[in-house]
Amino acid sequence: MAQWGFVFDQRKCIGCNACQMACKDAHNLEAGLFYRRVDTLEYEEGGQTRFAHFSGACNHCAEAACVKHCPTGAMHHAEDGTVHVDQGLCIGCGTCAWACPYGAVGLSHRFGTAVKCDSCMELRQKGQNPVCVDACLTHCLEFRDLDQMREEERAHCVADMTFLPDASETRPSLRIRREKCGKSSRGAGERSDGCQSDL
């Protein structure tokens, strides 16, 4: 199975929220639901507090907790490795939302089912990018086959940062060209094992 996923260049992100709002608008999401969120991260450097930005969505994990714990099989992997919800099978129990360590699964009051980023599958089937990728003003988001990344590209990317869950838990299809390690301004805890993990 291929491993398609997002590459996020944190060095370029300006925290403008264009990706977040383009996604919400394109999918006509109800109030309070987001498939992608932009957060501002705080870190210390040279005795000074600095900030960086992070744009996160479903990471289409290779060992997705939502797929593993879904009681009906509604959460499943597509042929390209991305994770999708079969609305016909979903019973809206919320197990997937509780299981996802990234908080990427929401529950729709409108449909009574789980909802999440599907990497804009319909657009991609037409040869187009996910809306968040095209909306990004600084081109810090890509969606690509991660297995095809060159070795020099891999060397500058991580799948793990201190404010994210340990990548070994679910093997996220996410690569980050990072600014610095940091903790979320929303108060997410830091891990003690550093930023980088083996991919």
Does 114 reside within a domain? yes
Residue with tokens 């870190």: 43
In the chain, DSSP finds a helix count (H) and a strand count (E) of 6, 10
Question: Whole-angstrom Cα distance, residue 111 to residue 34?
Answer: 15
Does 190 reside within a domain? no
**CATH number for position 161:** 3.30.70.20
3-state DSSP assignment of residue 18: helix
Does 36 reside within a domain? yes
pLDDT interval class at 151 (50, 70, 90): confident
Does 195 reside within a domain? no
* 6: β partners: 143, 174
Question: Whole-angstrom Cα distance, residue 28 to residue 195?
Answer: 35
Please tell me the predicted confidence (pLDDT) of residue 195: 34
Structural domain including 8 reads: 4-184
Run of H or E including 49: strand 48-57
Q: Model's pTM, two decimal places?
A: 0.84
pLDDT interval class at 85 (50, 70, 90): very high
Does 112 reside within a domain? yes
Number of domains making up the chain: 1
Does 194 reside within a domain? no
Residue 196: pLDDT over 80: no
Does 44 reside within a domain? yes
Does 198 reside within a domain? no
